[in-house]
Amino acid sequence: MRLILLGPPGAGKGTQAQRLVAKYGIVQLSTGDMLRAAVKAGTPVGRQVEKIMASGSLCPDELVVDIIGQRIDAPDARKGFILDGFPRTVPQAEALDRILGQKRLDLDAVIELRVDEDALIRRIETRVAEMKAKGEKLRDDDNPEVLHKRLEAYRQLTAPLIAYYRQHGMLRTVNGMAPIDDVTVAIDRVLAAAPAAGGRQGAQQGTPSTKKELSA
């Protein structure tokens, strides 16, 4: 099983990815986590991306494509993987298509978690307040100002991927505003209904229909 989870910051990609990992025995490949680990370890890549990440901008395409290209080759990714936070631009998606093509691997689906923008801001504010209350260290990019920058990067650079994968017949949309367990059920349904790569066009689950939906 090879999946992409697509959605803006705070859409719940990480939460759903962890559930899919447990259910299918596949690995979660989060470029955000990998880059944060590189920053923490002070590697050359980490030093290169530290300021970019803290500002809420995206890291260079070639850099993240390289990281993912290598990570997909690791033995633990052989059974499958969930990409979380990658691809984030159309050039990254094109690079991923090339990488998978060379390895003769297919994607099973691209799952879009569709959410309302105001709710996202509230979710991230809650996450920040909870972490502060627990005395946990906040991510450098978890503050309101940087959040707006991250949402802007999403709208400009990542949202076009929705159209990209819809055109490729890969896109499956679920309502990310539903309770966490309901989102999980919706994803399960989508995967049961659409196992083959490039299958049905843009199947849709749930009925998100607010004006502020973040989509392409």
Q: Using CB under 6 A, which residues numbered 128 to 157 contact ligand ADP? A: 141, 150
Which of these segments, 51-59, 102-110, 182-190, 207-215, binds ligand ADP (CB under 6 A)? 51-59
Q: Which stretch binds ligand ADP (CB under 6 A): 20-28, 82-90, 186-194, 199-207?
A: 82-90
Q: Is 85 in the site for ligand ADP (CB under 6 A)?
A: yes
Indicate the residue among 5 and 191 with the shorter CB distance to ligand ADP.
5
Among left, alpha and beta (phi > 0; psi -120 to 50; other), residue 72 is alpha
Q: What is the CA radius of gyration of the chain?
A: 17
59 touches ligand ADP (CB under 6 A): yes
Instruction: State the number of binding residues for ligand ADP (CB under 6 A).
Output: 17
- Rounded-to-integer distance, Cα 118 and Cα 205, Å: 21
Nearest CA to 45 out of 28, 15, 67, 29 is that of 67
177 closest CA partner among 114, 135, 106: 114
| Enzyme catalytic residues | 13, 88, 127, 139, 150
Selected range binding ligand ADP among 18-26, 40-48, 58-66, 201-209, rule: CB under 6 A: 58-66
Tell me the angle at which helices 44-55 and 61-72 cross, rounded to the nearest 10 degrees: 120
33: left (phi over 0), alpha (psi -120 to 50) or beta: alpha
* Closer residue to ligand ADP in complex, CB, 129/193: 129
- Which of 2, 20, 56, 108 binds ligand ADP (CB under 6 A)? It is 56
**Which listed residue (6, 26, 29, 53) binds ligand ADP by CB under 6 A?**
53
Beta bridge partners of 84: 5, 30
109 touches ligand ADP (CB under 6 A): no
Q: What is the DSSP letter of 215?
A: -
9 binds ligand ADP (CB under 6 A): yes
What is the C-alpha separation between 187 and 113, in angstroms, rounded? 9
Report the side by side order of strands in the sheet with 2-6.
27-30, 81-84, 2-6, 109-114, 171-175, 203-204
The piece of 55-63, 71-79, 110-118, 172-180 that touches ligand ADP (CB under 6 A) is 55-63
Instruction: Indicate the residue whose CB is closest to ligand ADP.
Output: 32
Residues at the site binding ligand ADP, with contacts judged by CB under 6 A: 9, 31-32, 35, 52-53, 56-59, 64, 85-86, 88, 92, 141, 150
